[in-house]
Amino acid sequence: IVHTKGYMYDSLIYRFKDYQARAFQSEVIDYKYKHNTSELEARERVRNQHNRDLMRFIDILNEVMGDHD
């Protein structure tokens, strides 16, 4: 069971990160125009949001799944 949970955990994290990577440029463009910022600032802000969201997703996933490898 612990091995299966590890597989599910890795798979969910991979899919979440893959989604973020595909959405990144679109979110940068949206942020840039909504907040009238430079490309560099928009990229940094979106990257920070993605990192925060990923860390929160990992925290929640760890709480739900319990022990895994």
- Reference 63, options 46, 4, 34, 55; nearest CA is 55
So what's the pLDDT on residue 68?
A: 74
User: Three-class SS of residue 56?
Assistant: helix
Q: Per residue in 3-59, pLDDT tens?
A: 788 889 999 999 999 999 999 999 999 999 999 999 999 999 999 999 999 999 999
Report the C-alpha gap between 46 and 29 in whole angstroms. 10
With vertex at residue 58, the alpha carbon angle to CA 64 and CA 41, rounded to the nearest 5 degrees, is 150
So what's the pLDDT on residue 60?
A: 95
Report the C-alpha gap between 40 and 52 in whole angstroms. 18
What is the chain's alpha carbon radius of gyration, rounded to the nearest angstrom?
A: 15
